[in-house]
């Protein structure tokens, strides 16, 4: 798992693993911020962790080469980017092609990049949400796997919208990882396969945390 922030998605995945719905194991947590909550959480849980500051390297490629060599050392079946706030070099993405996903707080293809909640409000959107997608070299542009939607309410500001979306993001990521861990979804194929068939549209997470085809 790659994260730059407080590690709430990591906590959600660990909770889903402990409770049973997610048959997986987190083998390592990696960050560009040694003081991040995600790294602290990994240490508390006894999970291997590596944090490398970009400023300690000559350039992005050098940083990513070091960080993703550490990722490769734990031999992950899947790399989950959850709140990892750096653009990953194309070489590192290709190194793990078909094995890396990202959760993004918008209904992609709307609002790639940052400040998604404020941008949704500024556009007057009636609904907002989050997406899980395959990581490709282009920013937030990989094949969409799943999405969750919430209404934008009168009086919402960016902070309120983000706070209401966060638990649904957690459920979306945990549920999507479970589909991958159990073999229901295969992102190593092009196009992505779900239940033995090409995935034509992202799955939609229902209020009861089950998925329906979009």
User: What are the residue numbers of the active site?
Assistant: 104
Q: How far apart are CA 109 and CA 123, in angstroms?
A: 14
- Pairing between strand 29-31 and 49-51? parallel
Q: Mark out the alpha helices in the chain (DSSP H runs).
A: 8-19, 37-45, 60-73, 90-95, 116-122, 158-181
Joined together, the tokens standing for residue 199 give 């995935």
Joined together, the tokens standing for residue 166 give 């966060």
What secondary structure does DSSP assign to 27-47, as a single string? Answer: --EEES-TT-HHHHHHHHHT-
Q: How far apart are CA 114 and CA 196, in angstroms?
A: 34
Joined together, the tokens standing for residue 148 give 């969750």
Helix (H) or strand (E) holding 132: strand 127-134
């Amino acid at each position: 798992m790659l994260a730059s922030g407080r590690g709430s998605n990591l906590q959600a995945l660990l909770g889903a693993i402990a409770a049973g719905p997610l048959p997986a194991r987190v083998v390592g947590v990696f960050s560009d911020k040694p003081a991040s909550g995600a790294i602290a959480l990994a240490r508390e849980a006894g999970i291997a962790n590596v944090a490398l500051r970009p400023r300690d390297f000559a350039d992005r490629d050098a940083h990513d080469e070091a960080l993703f060599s550490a990722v490769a050392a734990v031999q992950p079946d899947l790399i989950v980017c959850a709140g990892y706030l750096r653009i990953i070099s194309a070489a590192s993405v290709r190194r793990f092609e078909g094995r890396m996903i990202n959760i993004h707080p918008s209904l992609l293809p709307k609002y790639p990049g940052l400040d998604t909640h404020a941008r949704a409000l500024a556009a007057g959107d009636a609904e907002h949400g989050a997406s899980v997608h395959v990581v490709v070299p282009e920013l937030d542009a990989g094949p969409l796997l799943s999405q969750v939607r919430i209404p934008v309410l009168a009086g919402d500001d960016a902070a309120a919208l983000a706070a209401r979306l966060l638990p649904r993001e957690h459920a979306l990521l945990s549920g999507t990882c479970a589909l991958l861990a159990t073999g229901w979804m295969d992102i190593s194929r092009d196009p992505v396969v779900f239940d033995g068939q090409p995935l034509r549209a992202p799955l939609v997470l229902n209020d009861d945390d089950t998925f329906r085809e979009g």
